[in-house]
Amino acid sequence: MLGSFIAHTLNGLYWGSILFLITAGLSIVLGILGVLNLAHGELYALGAYLGITVFGLLMGLVVIPETIAQYILFGGIILLGILIAAAILIPLASIIEVVLFRPIYDRAEEYQLLLTFGLLLILHDGIKLFWGEGSVSSSAPYSGLNRIPTTELVGFSYPSYNIFVIISGFILFVSLLWFFDNTKQGLIIRALAIDREMATAIGIDTKKMFTVVFAFGAFLAGMGGAMAAPPITANLGMGIEPLILAFVIIVIGGVGSIKGTYIAAIMVGLLSRWATWLYPPVELVIPFLLMLIVLLIKPQGLFSSWGELS
């Protein structure tokens, strides 16, 4: 019983960490640009496909790890592959923001929804064009990293790859908090979220910052996709469920709140995996019940928009 509880709790932390990576980018874009990007799930899927391709190239450069030095090298190669896959989305997202999004910021929300839905279909067909309609996978990073003992050191067997994702998600969460609290660029982005007109009046290049923010959001989505790819097979419909859950997490945590996004993502991940363990029929309902409760008690979310400011 205790072993099952620990395993499903770790599964929940793993799934919550993946959801945080996806949702953080969507929440930042929504909080600052004011655009509800329906294509964000396809950016996540594109990150997964790119990750599998990049892993396929990099795995030929390293051997299956057997020693401590090889463990470190193998982990570094996987991290490099994830960052490369996510970074490929930066120029693509920058072009999308400049060409497609910039002309419609002042239009009604209906135009934004139609545009992002059209972009979703374009990205979907683009993935089909490059990788085909079938599923693709690359299990070498998952099996290779699992050879590194982590929980085995304390007498418990659990995939080391999942531990790697949980730790990476938490490090990214802390890094984002630090970035928005202590760096000039982070403070500029927060100023844009609080008062766009005032930020423009004091000389901030709004257009440039919007492009940076959208590209950063796509980078986080791609990072989530590349991290999620090794244990699973990437397929054309893989972006739908995370996109829906990302909207739920934003409502629970508060728009634009990094702290709220992380806490809500972990809550959704834990409750989903505990439900899978204890009573599977309610697995899909649990996140929406949590959202409903939060909406009734605190409609603005657990943390208000950019709640870290307080």
First to last CA, the chain: 41
The pLDDT mean for the chain works out to: 88
Give yes or no for residue 193 having a pLDDT over 70: yes
Q: What pLDDT does 305 receive?
A: 65
Model confidence pLDDT, tens digit, residues 123-152? 999 999 999 988 898 888 888 888 888 888
Instruction: Please list, in sequence order, all residues whose beta carbon lies within 8 angstroms of the beta carbon of residue 51, skipping any fewer than 6 positions away.
Output: 81, 82, 85, 138, 222, 225, 226, 227, 229, 230
Give yes or no for residue 309 having a pLDDT over 90: no
Q: How confident is the model at residue 153 (pLDDT cuts 50, 70, 90)?
A: confident
Model confidence pLDDT, tens digit, residues 261-296? 999 999 999 999 999 889 888 888 999 999 999 999
Structure tokens at 243: 């996109």
237 vs 262 pLDDT, higher one: 262
Average pLDDT over residues 242-256: 90
- Tell me if 161 sits within 8 A of 146, measured CB to CB: yes
Structure tokens at 200: 């423009």
pTM over 0.85: yes
Q: How far apart are CA 38 and CA 221, in angstroms?
A: 12
Model confidence pLDDT, tens digit, residues 83-117? 999 999 999 999 999 999 888 888 888 888 899 99
Distance of CA 26 to the CA centre of its chain: 8
